Structures are given as C-alpha cells and as structure tokens.
Amino acid sequence: MLSIKNLKVSIEDKEILKGINLEIKPGEIHAIMGPNGSGKSTLAAALSGRDYASVTGGSITFLGNDLLEMSPEDRARAGLFLGFQYPVEIPGVSMVNFMRSAVNEKRKYQKLEPLSSSDFLKLMREKKEVVEIDSNLTNRSVNEGFSGGEKKKNEIFQMAMLEPKLAILDETDSGLDIDALRVVANGVNKLHSPENATIVITHYQRLLDYIVPDFVHVLYQGRIVKSGDKTLAYELEEKGYDWIKEEVIAG
C-alpha cells in the first residue's frame, strides 16, 4: 500500500529525515515512536504534502502512484489521511460545510454523485456516534475554541467521515483524558479493516494497549533505528530511549 524508500526531507535547508525506509501493507497497524524532535511529524508532513517539508531524495509510492507527484488534496482523495498533532482553528468555516465539501470532493474523485443533504446529515450523525463527539462541536467553526482533547476527537471524527485507506495519526493520544483515549482508540479500531492501514505516532505505550500495533518503529535523528513488534513499545516505556541512542552511537 505504502512504500517509502530512502526518503530524505529537509526543512529550511536542514536535513531532518536522513533516509527512511518503510513498507506498509493493507490491514497493518504501525506505531512510530521516538524522542522529541526526531522527525516523526516531519515524516507525516512529507506524506501529506506539506510544502515546508521539502523532499530532497528517495521515493514514496502509495497504492501504485508516485505520492510525491500528487497535490495534498489529491493525496487525501486517493485515501490518505493525516490526523494533525496540532489541529488548526479556522474561525468562520463551519464544521458542517467543511465536512460536506471534503466528503463530496472524495465522492467526486470516486465518480460518485454528491450526497443529498439528508444523507449527509445522516452520515454525520452515524460517525458522531462512533467517536462519541458532542453535537455542539460539529455545529461550530472548525476547531474554534475546542479544548485540546476535543480537537483530537475531531480529527478522528473527520477520519471516520472520510474513511481513508491509510491514516497517519500524529500524537492523537496526547491531551486526551482516560475516557477520551478509550473512545478515540475504539473509534480507530472500529474503522480498521483488512483493507486499510494505520500509522500511529505516539510517545506512550498506553495507547498501544488499545490500538495494538503489528510493528513498532523507533525514529531517532531522522532514521528508523529499530523496528520490532509491540513488545518494543513496552521496552521503551520501561527503559526510555538512552539504550537505543547508545546502540546508535555504538553503530
């Protein structure tokens, strides 16, 4: 589904990602962990097509297409979804209009008719239940005045609305209370299927108790320095990153 080969990414002429390799198949859940500043969000930015993350080398293939040739909106319509670490507030753009545009753009891409008003509202209702999001929130402007946790829930709500093939969730767990964490994880699990894949970027093993990964990767200084199964997450939780850093230095 997704194939990243020797990906190099710079921000303002500083090389942040120094050759990432990653293969993701349908049905898989990958967790990416790593210390602050190691480049996790930069990877997400490059995947979603953010212009400040300039790709200086390597390739990304997504469902057979050269992802790097595609605009951010085309990537989204092809089934890529980024749950932002810091969702943006957009005063004046209502959640309803925003989601209606997004859903219908995707349908257009799939050569389907736009949803009727009533079908759209029905879809909104259904998906709101999946992520247990307050109706008041979806009646407001996009993220405007939402609490940190509400913003994260809203990311999962959007993901539920758009049913992506590949979702990248960048620290969707941070800022969530215990109940919200469970709700968000349940939402992700409900949406998961053998046809789609998920990348969860997180600092905490706790999330991985709910969303059980098939693979765990450690990103450090712009490289994936270690990969393993879910037990790697426990090891990190217990021992921190020092031992990995030492391994890297030892080469």
Question: Could you list the residues that contact ligand ATP (CB under 6 A)?
Answer: 11-12, 16, 34, 36-42, 52, 85
Q: Which of 40, 106, 153, 226 binds another protein (CB under 8 A)?
A: 106
Q: Does 42 participate in binding Mg ion (rule CB under 5 A)? A: no
| Pick from 133, 88, 81: nearest CA to 102 | 81
Q: Is-contact 168 47, C-beta < 8 A?
A: yes
Cα 215 to Cα 186: distance, rounded to the nearest angstrom: 19
Q: Does 205 participate in binding Mg ion (rule CB under 5 A)? A: no
Q: Which of 2, 7, 24, 87 binds another protein (CB under 8 A)?
A: 87
Q: Is-contact 215 9, C-beta < 8 A?
A: no
Residue for token digits 């990969």? Answer: 227
**Which run of H or E residues covers position 22?**
strand 14-24
Taking each helix axis from N to C end, the angle separating 148-162 and 178-191, rounded to the nearest 10 degrees, works out to 10
Q: Which CB atom, from 32 or from 133, has the smaller least distance to Mg ion?
A: 32
Phi, psi of 80 (to 5 degrees): -95, 140
Report residue 29 as tokens.
């859940």
Q: Which of 88, 178, 249, 250 binds another protein (CB under 8 A)?
A: 88
Q: Does 48 participate in binding another protein (rule CB under 8 A)? A: yes
Q: Does 172 participate in binding Mg ion (rule CB under 5 A)? A: no
CB of 103 vs another protein, minimal distance in Å: 8
**Helices (H), strands (E): how many in the chain?**
10, 12
**With contacts defined by CB under 8 A, how many residues of the chain interact with another protein?**
30
Strand partners, 7: 20
Q: Which CB atom, from 41 or from 202, has the smaller least distance to Mg ion?
A: 41
Q: Does 38 participate in binding Mg ion (rule CB under 5 A)? A: no
Contact residues for another protein (CB under 8 A)? 48-51, 71-73, 75-77, 82, 84, 87-93, 97-98, 101-102, 105-106, 109, 141-142, 158, 162
Contact residues for Mg ion (CB under 5 A)? 40-41, 85
